[in-house]
Amino acid sequence: MRIVLGVGGGIAAYKVASLLRLFTEAGHDVTVIPTEAATRFVGVATWEALSGHPVSNSVFDAVHTVNHVRLGHEAELIVVAPATADLLARAATGQADDLLLNTLLMAGDCPVLMAPAMHTEMWQHPATEANVETLRSRGVTVLEPASGRLTGADSGPGRLPEPEAIFTAAMALAGAAASAASAAMPAVKADMDTAPAAGPAAAQPAVPPLAGLTVTISAGGTREPLDPVRFLGNRSSGKQGVALAAAASAAGARVRLLAAHMEVPAPAGVELVQVETALELREAALHAAADSDVVIMAAAVADFRPADVAGTKIKKRDDVADPVINLVRNPDILRELVEVRDAASRNQLIVGFAAETGDAGGDVLDYARDKLRRKACDLLVVNQVGRDLVFGEDTNSVVILSRDGSEPQEASGSKSDVAAAVIDRISAELSRAVPPA
Ligand code: CTP
């Protein structure tokens, strides 16, 4: 694949040498375009040696090959790292004052991924937030920066994600763009059959299916404290929720991951909100849902919590009876999200998960249909659970039920395969809900 790697003028430019290595070792042909400021951190000779191509940022070099047009046209993927506040601003306003900005403007339907790095204040400044919003609304995938130590003594969100994480996100984006392009092929072909000149459909960019949308996903299992060292928890690993977050991100969405206890790390490029209890998850979910187009409740939420939480460790004592744990019911977050959405007449798709075992009173699908009625969400992803089934495993097998009563859809395979099927189904539901103009 032909990749253009734009490098911005930030200290993290040195890390991009490793990213370049990952791309070339995977067999990709990479042209590096550093900004003028980037060359103050890492010299042109380094980029030339590692990429095996001449490197320039001037539109006046290699003029006979019309570089600024050619690179944008030929690129199959453009990755910009570190995307500084200045670079994001220049890209958002469509400036074309150097070769990298020209290339971005000439990129047409090529997928573009930007990995920001800057100080927290700059990242959280309304000007930067507006620029990121603008770029995302145009289909550019702007990763969330990592959190941690920054250039000075400060720390917070603003670190460049690790090269491996950028590499994974870039490959996922290129894969999603390629499958979107091949899905669009028949329409383009039909157009070509009837119109000798390339019609408007042929010029349509391959916009990822969830580009411009915000998707909130809860994952993992809540922990309900009994005392400062003990809790009531469940077996959820968070793997399915994390796979959904990665799939939604690859489909171009801005993703918020509300993470209760998880055994796996969150994917790069998602906004991470960490929660512990069902009550904390409820607050985070209601807040995040206010500006989300899709909410997926994949977390295993404890239905009950201890009525009293001891302030100090509960000790066993011979002179008093063993303690009894009284439980109170937690709110049903999914049900509440649906109620709030309906009360606000919000255009939002809400997806629940159901873990069922089935018993003498009914099978898994009987219970799931009943749950779908009670929760009133749009889609319910149902899986059969048991001690050796699903929890912590890398594979899953689900049935997707819809409130409109359409045929149950089965999906199975790795948790990534299942996540991709769920995200595809969500994209299909959204495109049915909003017929094209
Ligand atoms: N859920 C929720 N709030 C709760 C319990 C569950 O939002 N207090 C959500 C889960 O995230 C999931 C769906 O509801 O999307 C179904 O979860 P499940 O545990 O299967 O259902 P319950 O409502 O707990 O029903 P039951 O325990 O009776 O099977």
Residue nearest to ligand 1 atom 25, measured at CA: 371
Q: Tell me if 430 sits within 8 A of 350, measured CB to CB.
A: no
Write phi, then psi, for 82 (nearest 5 degrees). Answer: -75, 140
Taking all residues of the chain, what is their mean pLDDT, rounded to a whole number? 88
Tokens representing 167? 């590499």
Q: Which among 216, 258, 279, 301 is the best mutation to test ligand 1's pocket, defined by most ligand atoms within 8 Å of the CB?
A: 301
141-142/409-414 β-pairing: unpaired
DSSP, res 154: -
Q: Report the domain count for the chain.
A: 2
Assign residue 354 the CATH number of its domain: 3.40.50.10300
* Cα–Cα dist 56/408, whole Å: 55
Q: Which residue positions in the chain have pLDDT lower than 70?
A: 63-66, 68, 179-207, 386-392, 433-437
In a domain, 312, yes or no: no
In a domain, 234, yes or no: yes
Residues 52, 106: one domain? yes
Residues 172, 239: one domain? no
* pLDDT single digits (tens) 59-104: 777 766 667 678 888 999 999 999 999 999 999 999 999 999 999 9
125 burial type by CB count under 10 A (0-12 exposed, 13-18 middle, 19+ buried): middle
In a domain, 194, yes or no: no
In a domain, 131, yes or no: yes
Strands (E), 288-364: 294-297, 304-306, 327-329, 349-356
Q: Give the atom of ligand 1 at the shortest distance from the alpha carbon of 336.
A: 7
Residues 116, 257: one domain? no
In a domain, 226, yes or no: yes
* pLDDT single digits (tens) 24-46: 998 999 999 999 999 999 999 99
Reading across the β-sheet that carries 29-34, which strands appear in turn? Answer: 29-34, 2-7, 77-83, 112-116, 141-142
pLDDT at 200: 37
Determine if the pTM surpasses 0.75: no
Residues 163, 275: one domain? no
Q: Which among 334, 378, 380 is the best mutation to test ligand 1's pocket, defined by most ligand atoms within 8 Å of the CB?
A: 334
3-state helix, strand, coil in the chain (%, to 5): 40, 25, 40
Q: Among 176, 199, 234, identify where a domain stops.
A: 176
Residues 337, 221: one domain? yes
Q: Among 130, 157, 176, identify where a domain stops.
A: 176
Assign residue 11 the CATH number of its domain: 3.40.50.1950
Q: Among 146, 176, 206, identify where a domain stops.
A: 176
Domain span at residue 80 reads: 2-176
Q: Which residue has the tokens 């940022």?
A: 57
2 burial type by CB count under 10 A (0-12 exposed, 13-18 middle, 19+ buried): middle
Q: Tell me if 115 sits within 8 A of 161, measured CB to CB.
A: yes
Residues 134, 231: one domain? no
My answer on whether omega of the bond before 82 falls inside 30° of 0, hence cis, is yes
Write phi, then psi, for 182 (nearest 5 degrees). Answer: -75, -30
Residues 264, 403: one domain? yes
Q: Residue 341 C-alpha to ligand 1 middle, in angstroms?
A: 18
